[in-house]
Structure 1
Amino acid sequence: MKTPILSDYLLQHFDKQSPGPSNQQLYRLLRKAILDRVLQVDARLPSSRDLARELATCRNTVLYAYDQLRAEGYIEGRSGSGTFVTDTAPQEGALNQTPMSHAPLGAQVAPILSRRGQELVAHAGAAAQQWGPFVPGVPDVVQFPHQTWSRIQKKVWRRPSPDSLTYAQGGGYLPLRVALADYLKVARCIDCSPEQVVITTGIHQSIDLCMRLLSDPGDLAWVEDPCYWGTRNLLRASGLNIRPVPVDAEGMCPGPADFAAVPRFIFLTPSHQYPLGMVMSLARRRLLLEYASRNDCWIIEDDYDSEFRYNGRPLAPLQGLDSAERVIYLGTFSKTLYPGLRVGYLVLPRALVRSFVTGVNELHRAGTIQTQATLAEFITEGFFTSHIRRMRTTYARRLGLLQQLINKRFDPSVVQTIGSDAGLHLVLQLPDYCNDQELAAKATHAGVAVRPLSLYYHDATRSAQGLLLGYACVHESQIAPAFEVLARHIEHELWNKPAPLSRNDAEYRASRNKAVL
């Protein structure tokens, strides 16, 4: 027995030449016919043989589609009668219990995102380009010792234990936590036991974990101004009130009005302020530690790239001075190894360890034990410190080359560099009359991905103008050509303003005009 409406519908849409399995195509067409009411409730479907013959396809194709529809409840077989469409519509009156919107068709009644989601998306700072000149904050992943890592990884994967392939417990792979505690004691003067180290996927997850476990919406947080955009956005998303505290040559510089409003958190990058690069003085460190101790504040210390200091030894972090255990220390391997590794860690005060271990297991179902095992052996065998020493030399050489180009091209009274003795980037400070966001957009379009300094400030009206230039991921042979592209964009910006350009401004203009003529 044929169903004329169904036959016409299937003959019109079923195409055996289309890519993909025919059985799935037929299943989707039949399901659509039922949902669109081409087939009404209790409509009888053709037998599998009849439908296969009508569509000139094999019977197994039809049987697959019928079986899938029957399993999902769209059709049912009735003994001795055939296969029929079932009634899948909501029960009568169920929707009447819910108030209906009377807005015009297509009108947006309410925002799709929550207020928290809107804040997060509106202030998103992640750039689309994460590699190339002069992307800031990215190490040279080409120089990573891939063969050594691969050898260790193969060894780890040769006979993995069942525990290493399931969810992680206890704050991460214990040998990695032991290796990290040993490394931090020697390299960063951090006093901690392996139990105080909790493995995360990076700085963002570490901060998110702190916010979820230690804050309530409406709590106050001090942040450096300017500061890392990711920190500020995570705080917004957590519903915290942000108080930007300006920085000076000694780091975060709170005033009487700041001290009067006691924060729940104080976020700091004391060893190398991000993005400006100054080092927090010992007096300022002791002041903030004493204030946190007296007022039960938590200091979140982000020690994001302190291994790369080119003048003298890396400076000891706040955590090493913290006798009251108010500092939560954040570290990551994104800058020292490669960002895609997605391994970071927290060093916690002892009173927080148990709760954070429970929190990371409950919220994130931690894993990646095999990766952590590889990293643990990479550290204990000495490859990590060797890689740091080698890359410190490489980055210092690239920094020096870039500084030479800047000093040769621009007058330091107009364009100057700051924060250039550590880290993976320097800041090219521009006159206030420049528009660093427009300049960065033009440079990025030309293939040189710099970041505007003004975006790191909480209040755009009080921001400084400048560009962040990451030199770590640019090979020496690419630095000069990339800088030439950037310099011409900077010069164009400066030429259109009433200010001097460079030491050779007049000669450069004359040669340029002569070339044009």
Structure 2
Amino acid sequence: MATTALSDWLAHRLERSGEKPLYRQLHQLLQAAILSGALPSRAKLPSSRLLSAELGIARNTVTQVFEQLMLEGYLVATSGRGTFVSEGAREDQSAEPAGHEAPTLPSTLPNLSERGRRLYADAVVFERQPGAFMPGVPDLARFPTRTWNRLQKKHWQRSPEKVLNYAPPGGHAQLRSAISDYLHSARSVRCSPSQVIVTTSNHQSIDLAIQLLTDAGDLMWIEDPSYWGTRNVLQASGLALKAIHVDDDGIAPSKSDMATPPKLILVTPTHHYPLGMEMSIHRRKMLLGYADEHNCWIIEDDCNSEFKYGTKPLPSLQGMDGTGKVLYIGSFSSSLFPGVRIGYIVVPTELAQSFAIASTDLDREGQELHQAVLADFLDEGYFTSHVRRMRVLYKWRRELLILAINERYGNQLRIAGGDVGLHLTLLLPSYVDDKRLVSAAHSAGILMRPLSSYFMGREESASGVLLGYACVSDTAIRPAFNTFADILDRFLVKAY
């Protein structure tokens, strides 16, 4: 099928006013064309820029569909040559009749609901995590495993039956107390141990808040851009999500946004993810006043606040809240290691019992052994010492990465964000297809995330890449970046 013929075929089948999203329609149509043989193996597809222009749809929609079809094995991208139908795309599909139209469900997703298919389509999973330049992954080799093992052995010897059981409602009592003490001293969070509910992750904390504080169809504000993993949890919740623009001061709702108050507002005030700015005092006061006036709940995700490399971060939003409207969440995945699977949500006093009981009833929490070990790790000062050491190390690696960027590009490219977190965001010219760039980098063994995939309002998306430095050794940063830069240089040549 020639490029023009493919565009015409797609244009006649896309339902512009239909309920099904365009990206889902385009995905199913291209998949059907491949399965039917209309797009044979090794056939070259038009570029995302050309196809979006010919179909009259957003380029980000096309690139999202291309990337999903690559993940499913239907397409393959070759750096410098384009996107092609995979040779194995029709394998085990010989029964598909010629001329077969878009199937009701993708063949790789049998019996999933529309919500399930949407969640699958937006999921981003990599078999390999540590390495240049995967954001959000700590240096696991520096974790004090001997100390952790010693504390763990103590609990095995002291009370093996107890740590094998379900955790009590709200989590291990000593851990709830230790988290409360730590948050009070480090982040000015005002809470008692009973207000701390131990969870497995930020995702579970957010999902718990949604289950207890909202009903299907309720309005929720989410920063745009925002962390794709959190956004996927919210999109599967049945809430009406509204993407709110961010500026240098943080979330920036317009007058029209504020005219319809939401039930929930999710923000990352200490370190906006992924752009890195810190919410200003003025914006914090505005948000707290608005929530109080309109009876909104605020979920404060205090991601990576431990790793602030310049001045101390501002006190938590929860610590500034005088009306009990803020729920504060965090986890130990980045500060310790992802496999620990322990997070927490700090809730207002009047919600504490209901959250503790609901968490136990919904999830039947285990992990009491890890919770008990972590409690000792916090109480005996090992956590503070570990974070202090890693903060020095990550600051140095951040500076090495910035130096490598500046030596290669000078003022040509801009780095977004402040001096906090485990990644930098390198902003790119709008004509650079960051998803294709990331795909090419992955083929060369360099891992990263495209900035455009963090935007919910696709028309507002920007081009860039998130470069994580925490899990990259000092000596590997410069050569890894130079490998990536050689690929990036080809994308920086603007094609007309």
**Which residue of structure 2 aligns with residue 185 of structure 1?**
184
Per-residue deviation, 1:482: 0.5
The answer to whether the 8 Å contact 2:219/2:262 transfers is yes
Aligned in 2, Cα 1:108/1:496: closer, same or farther, shift over 3 Å? closer
Larger Rg: 1
**Which residue of structure 1 aligns with residue 339 of structure 2?**
340
**Which residue of structure 1 aligns with residue 369 of structure 2?**
370
Q: Secondary structure at the match of 1:246?
A: strand
**Which residue of structure 2 aligns with residue 394 of structure 1?**
393
**Which residue of structure 2 aligns with residue 268 of structure 1?**
267
**Which residue of structure 1 aligns with residue 234 of structure 2?**
235
**Which residue of structure 2 aligns with residue 303 of structure 1?**
302
CA distance in 2, matches of 1:482, 1:220: 43
CA distance in 1, matches of 2:358, 2:168: 11
* 1:466 and 2:464 aligned: yes
Per-residue deviation, 1:123: 1.6
Letter of the structure 2 residue corresponding to residue 449 of structure 1: L
Letter of the structure 1 residue corresponding to residue 281 of structure 2: L
**Which residue of structure 1 aligns with residue 203 of structure 2?**
204
Q: Secondary structure at the match of 1:372?
A: helix
CA distance in 2, matches of 1:327, 1:347: 9
CA distance in 1, matches of 2:185, 2:176: 14
The answer to whether the 8 Å contact 2:431/2:494 transfers is no
Find 1:491's aligned residue among 474, 489, 492.
489
Once the two structures are superposed, the pairs formed by residues 282-361 of structure 1 within 5 Å of their partners are 282-361=281-360
Per-residue deviation, 1:316: 1.2
Q: Could you tell me the TM-score, scaled by structure 1's length?
A: 0.74
Q: Secondary structure at the match of 1:495?
A: coil
CA distance in 1, matches of 2:103, 2:489: 46
Once the two structures are superposed, the pairs formed by residues 169-184 of structure 1 within 5 Å of their partners are 169-184=168-183
**Which residue of structure 2 aligns with residue 78 of structure 1?**
none
Q: Secondary structure at the match of 2:170?
A: coil
CA distance in 1, matches of 2:409, 2:344: 41
Per-residue deviation, 1:261: 1.3
**Which residue of structure 1 aligns with residue 379 of structure 2?**
380
**Which residue of structure 2 aligns with residue 250 of structure 1?**
249
1:449-469 per-position Cα deviation (integer Å, ceiling 9, x unaligned)? 011000000122220100000
**Which residue of structure 1 aligns with residue 140 of structure 2?**
141
Once the two structures are superposed, the pairs formed by residues 69-148 of structure 1 within 5 Å of their partners are 112-148=111-147
Per-residue deviation, 1:306: 0.5
Per-residue deviation, 1:161: 5.1
Letter of the structure 2 residue corresponding to residue 485 of structure 1: T
1:294-347 per-position Cα deviation (integer Å, ceiling 9, x unaligned)? 111110110110110011113211000111111010010001001111000011
Q: Secondary structure at the match of 2:206?
A: helix
CA distance in 2, matches of 1:286, 1:109: 49
CA distance in 2, matches of 1:469, 1:191: 34
Q: Could you tell me the TM-score, scaled by structure 2's length?
A: 0.77
CA distance in 1, matches of 2:240, 2:251: 18
**Which residue of structure 2 aligns with residue 62 of structure 1?**
none
The answer to whether the 8 Å contact 1:306/1:315 transfers is no
Query: RMSD of the TM alignment (CA)?
Result: 1.7
CA distance in 1, matches of 2:128, 2:457: 25
**Which residue of structure 1 aligns with residue 8 of structure 2?**
none
Letter of the structure 2 residue corresponding to residue 274 of structure 1: Y
Per-residue deviation, 1:433: 1.0
CA distance in 2, matches of 1:248, 1:209: 29
Which stretch of structure 1 is more off in the superposition, 397-406 or 309-318? 309-318
CA distance in 2, matches of 1:420, 1:213: 34
CA distance in 2, matches of 1:437, 1:443: 10
**Which residue of structure 2 aligns with residue 430 of structure 1?**
428
**Which residue of structure 2 aligns with residue 167 of structure 1?**
166
The answer to whether the 8 Å contact 1:289/1:322 transfers is yes
Per-residue deviation, 1:420: 4.3
**Which residue of structure 2 aligns with residue 158 of structure 1?**
157
Q: Which runs of 5+ in 1 are unaligned?
A: 1-106, 499-517
Aligned in 2, Cα 1:109/1:229: closer, same or farther, shift over 3 Å? closer
- Count of residues in correspondence between the two structures: 393
The answer to whether the 8 Å contact 1:420/1:427 transfers is no
**Which residue of structure 2 aligns with residue 451 of structure 1?**
449
Q: Secondary structure at the match of 1:468?
A: strand
Find 1:419's aligned residue among 417, 420, 428.
417
Letter of the structure 1 residue corresponding to residue 177 of structure 2: V
**Which residue of structure 2 aligns with residue 213 of structure 1?**
212
Q: Matched residues, percent identical?
A: 49
The answer to whether the 8 Å contact 1:124/1:233 transfers is yes
Letter of the structure 2 residue corresponding to residue 173 of structure 1: H
1:341-367 per-position Cα deviation (integer Å, ceiling 9, x unaligned)? 100001111111111111111110011
Q: Which runs of 5+ in 2 are unaligned?
A: 1-101
The answer to whether the 8 Å contact 1:250/1:278 transfers is yes
The answer to whether the 8 Å contact 1:171/1:199 transfers is yes
Which stretch of structure 1 is more off in the superposition, 459-468 or 301-310? 459-468
